[in-house]
Amino acid sequence: MGLRLTLFLVIGCLSNVLGQSNFYHTDTIQEIRITFYESNWDQLLDALYVAGDNDRLTCDLEINGEVLDSVGIRYKGFSSVSTDRTKNPFNIKLDYVHGNQDYNGVTKLKLGNVIQDPSFLREVLSYEIARKYMPASQANFARVYINNVYWGLFTSVEDVDDPFLVDHYGESHGSFFKCAPDNLDFDGDNANLGNSYGTDSTDYYPYYDLQSDYGWEDLYELVGVLNENPNDIETLLNVDRTLWMHAFNYSLINFDSYVGYAQNYYIYKQQNGQFNPILWDLNMSFGSFRLADASEYWDGFTIAEAKTMDPLLHLNSVSVYERPLMRNLFENSTYKRMYLAHMRTIMEENIGNGLYSTRAQFLHDLIDTAVLQDTNKFYGYDDFQNNLNSTISDLIDYPGLTDLMNTRNTYLSSYTGFSGAPNISNVNTSPASITLGGSVSITAEITGEDNVLLAYRYGANDVFTTVSMLDDGTQNDGASGDGTYGKTLSNIGNTIQYYIYSQNANAGRFSPERAAYEFYEIQSQITSGDLVLNELMASNEFTALDQSGESDDWIEIYNTTQFDISTSGLYLTDDVTNLDKWALPNSVIPADGYMIIWADEDGEQGDNHANFKLSSNGEFVGLHYGDGTKIDSISFGAQITDVAFGRFPNGTGPWITMAPTFNGNNNFTSITEQEQLEATLYPNPANGNFFIRFIEPTASSIRIHSIEGKLVKEQSYSVSGTLQMDVSDVVSGMYLVSISTEKTTITKRLIINN
């Protein structure tokens, strides 16, 4: 297959993305009607806000004519809310009472009241630009009515929640934090990922809002490495994504962010081990927020200063309030040039070419009537008309978008690190079609370079590996010194995603320019036997839990080769007449490794959840390419609860009834030949410790795993009677306890409530 450019943005749960995109389409205005049951609804919402809790008032909601009853509503935000205001922002939970209630896949609405923005454009326009370079919320406008009275034009921004994570990362069960302190300190570090708060993860509780079931140890590890060993930070942080966030914030002067008060962003840790920053709350971009930059302008800056704000001030000057996520990265000269290259891309693709102004004018015209009719807006209609281009003076001065950005573009275009970058052209691969386990040479013509790097990976759940490209004639790059750089990769997977970066003493450049959010990709098909259906369970009650703690049917796929294999382009099905029923995600199964697919019809839980279930009465399961090419299939009969059906020997043998070896080697014989192990586990839930009573004397081990599969505790034993196990140091939650002998394993669920 030939070379093609692929967007990382489209990798994920497309059904949910497409559904939500209808609601969040930027060029539309949604109609939202709120009907409260109580006449004093505003006083009740005020009281909830003052109380500082997350309780909600129930009401009915109508979205574009579709009625949803008993949704939950409260105010959202901090400075944008006031009990003295008529127009407050809303947080509306559609499934507050009815657990399955949604609108086009949307379960929560975040409606902004457009305070601090006479133009009404800052938030929607900023998110549109951000989505070109990183995962960012969809956003548009909504006409909001309360009890049939037009309340005003609001912005509607997609929530950064589990569906957002699944859409962009294919998962949602990693450590997840909203970086927003409980009490914002205007003269403090806040959620800056610094290590000033103490030496224990509990010291960081007031500054970060944990959105996942666990994660404090992961956060503290990130903080430790970032501040003490920043040269090792790529093991825990998606550095490229972080540089894009900083580049966006400094390009558009979005300082109500990590820059100003170290808030208004999220971090999510993928299963590949890296945290990813996620932008949030862009309503004060384009210079609307100028209270602090945590450096020289710690006490505020003017519009004139915003236009010429140094994007490396935290490196070239001081950090009055520590910003290690910037300074400690910028001190790496390569990261610094990458950061400036990303800024140049944002400015060239949006500002320098005038695209942002064209889009701003389009959106301005789109909402013109809705703004005119909004009697609760915070600024006059003339202010709305003028703020696109001119400064509006109110409590503060709000810069005109074009006045700010055109001058900023002029300033940055001559900034050291923007000009003089290498040129990269004629990116190519040889051979044009790759084979699993083979070799490929990636080449490019480059001028003005000091050094060239190639970053590659084998699938979307993988981390990019970076290697040097050479112009010495040894990498299928032609003659030495001819300006063509190359790198030959051997023992490759069936899919390669890659980008090129080159720099000199002045500046750096990526190819493609939007890397690593966009990248080049080459693929080939595997052959029958490279991947096999290895084990399945059509009636799972106690054997294994998915990341949500549910006992679902599961299918195990095994990589029989010594090379990494991407599942991109492959389909699973339980219907012989519909071979492309469910597309596998573009995930890497490592050599001699396994992949679990949950057959539960619940794709909202992650990319590894299929759109069909298995029948315990028996059926067909097939693994094919979209063109019908068969990789493997199996037809099975009636199944027994918590008894697996799998290959023995592992990966190659015939299918037999066996004790489950979930996500592991099928090293057991048939279940009828296995030793029967009887054990009782109590109390359950456990607090501090629990006991296991054995019927017969035996010797082996006990392993406790989290529902994500992480080994939490292990203990060997040789007992009869009762064994006590201490779990006082284990975080509360659902766990799987595996009790193993040489011949068999049984698994039981355990709830720990410490």
Q: Which of 389, 410, 409, 385 is nearest to 400 (CA)?
A: 389
Share of the chain above pLDDT 90, in %: 79
Query: Nearest to residue 707, comparing CAs of 747, 680, 668, 740?
Result: 747
pLDDT at 672 over 60: no
Rg (CA), the chain: 28
pLDDT tier for residue 731 given thresholds of 50, 70 and 90: confident
Q: CA-CA distance, 347 to 132, in Å (whole number)?
A: 12
For the chain, give the mean pLDDT: 92
Q: What is the pLDDT of residue 3?
A: 38
> What pLDDT is stored for residue 744 in this prediction?
66
CA 448 to chain centroid, in Å, comes to: 36
State the Cα–Cα distance between residues 244 and 338, nearest whole angstrom: 9
Q: Which residue has the higher pLDDT, 707 or 349?
A: 349
Q: What's the pLDDT at 5?
A: 41
How far apart CA 391 and CA 397 sit, in angstroms, is 6
If you average pLDDT over residues 670-677, what whole number do you get? 48
Average pLDDT over residues 717-741: 80
Identify the residue whose tokens are 């509006």: 392
First to last CA, the chain: 55
Mind listing the pLDDT tens digit for each residue in 123-134?
999 999 999 999
Q: How far apart are CA 487 and CA 469, in angstroms?
A: 5
> What's the token pair of residue 724?
């006590």
Q: Contact 270/370 with Cβ under 8 angstroms?
A: no
Q: pLDDT value at position 194?
A: 97
Q: Which domains, and CATH codes, for the chain? A: 9-160 (no CATH), 163-332 (no CATH), 423-522 (2.60.40.10), 531-673 (2.60.40), 679-752 (2.60.40.3080)
Residue among 265, 262, 261 nearest 245 (CA): 265
pLDDT of residue 18 exceeding 70, the answer is no
- In contact, 258 and 189? CB cutoff 8 Å: no
- Kind plus residue range of the DSSP H or E element containing 407: helix 401-413
pLDDT band at 697 (very low <50, low <70, confident <90, very high): low
Residue 734 confidence (pLDDT): 80
- Please tell me the predicted confidence (pLDDT) of residue 676: 53
Compute the average pLDDT of residues 408-427: 97
Quick one: which of 734, 373, 736, 353 has its CA closest to 548? 734
Among the residue ranges 195-199, 365-369, 451-455, the one predicted with the least confidence is 195-199
For 634-669, write each residue's pLDDT tens digit: 999 999 888 899 998 999 999 988 888 899 998 754
- Please state the φ and ψ torsions of residue 618, each to the nearest 5 degrees: 105, 145
Q: Give the pLDDT mean for 228-250.
A: 98
Mean predicted confidence (pLDDT) in 8-20: 39
Distance of alpha carbon 42 from the chain centroid: 36
Locus of tokens 């003017």: 302
Return phi, psi of residue 167, to 5°. -60, -40
Q: 53 CB contacts (<8 Å, ≥6 apart)?
A: none
Mean pLDDT of 97-119: 95
- Pick the range with the lowest mean pLDDT from 13-27, 31-45, 597-611, 686-700: 13-27
Tell me which H or E stretch contains 385: helix 381-386
Average of per-residue pLDDT across 567-591? 96
Cα separation, 557 vs 560, in Å, equals 10
How far is the C-alpha of 113 from the C-alpha of 87, rounded, in Å?
Answer: 6
Name the burial class of residue 118, with classes exposed (0-12), middle (13-18) and buried (19+) by CB atoms within 10 angstroms of its CB: buried
* pLDDT value, residue 743: 61
What are the tens digits of pLDDT across the range 142-175?
999 999 999 999 999 999 999 999 999 999 999 9
Cβ of 241: how many Cβ atoms within 10 Å? 18
Mean pLDDT of 390-408: 96
Model pLDDT for residues 247-272, shown as the tens digit of each residue: 999 999 999 999 999 999 999 999 99
> CA nearest 460: which of 593, 278, 270?
270
293: phi then psi, degrees, rounded to nearest 5: -125, 5
Residue with tokens 């030949």: 673
pLDDT greater than 50 at residue 586: yes
Is the pLDDT reported for residue 709 higher than 60? yes
Q: Rounded to two decimals, what is the model's pTM?
A: 0.89
pLDDT at 458 over 50: yes
**What's residue 677's pLDDT?**
60
Residue 613: burial class (beta carbons within 10 Å; 0-12, 13-18, 19+): middle
Q: Report the DSSP pairing between strands 149-157 and 139-146.
A: antiparallel
311 pLDDT band (50/70/90 cuts)? Answer: very high
- Write down the pLDDT at residue 628: 95
User: Considering only 29-38, 108-117, 294-303, 544-553, which range has the smallest mean pLDDT?
Assistant: 544-553
**pLDDT, tens digit, for every residue of 54-69?**
899 999 999 999 999 9
pLDDT of residue 15: 36
The answer, yes or no, to whether residue 696 has pLDDT greater than 90, is no
What digits encode the pLDDT tens for the residues 466-521? 999 999 999 999 999 999 999 999 999 999 999 999 999 999 999 999 999 999 99
Going by pLDDT thresholds of 50, 70 and 90, the confidence category of residue 287 is very high
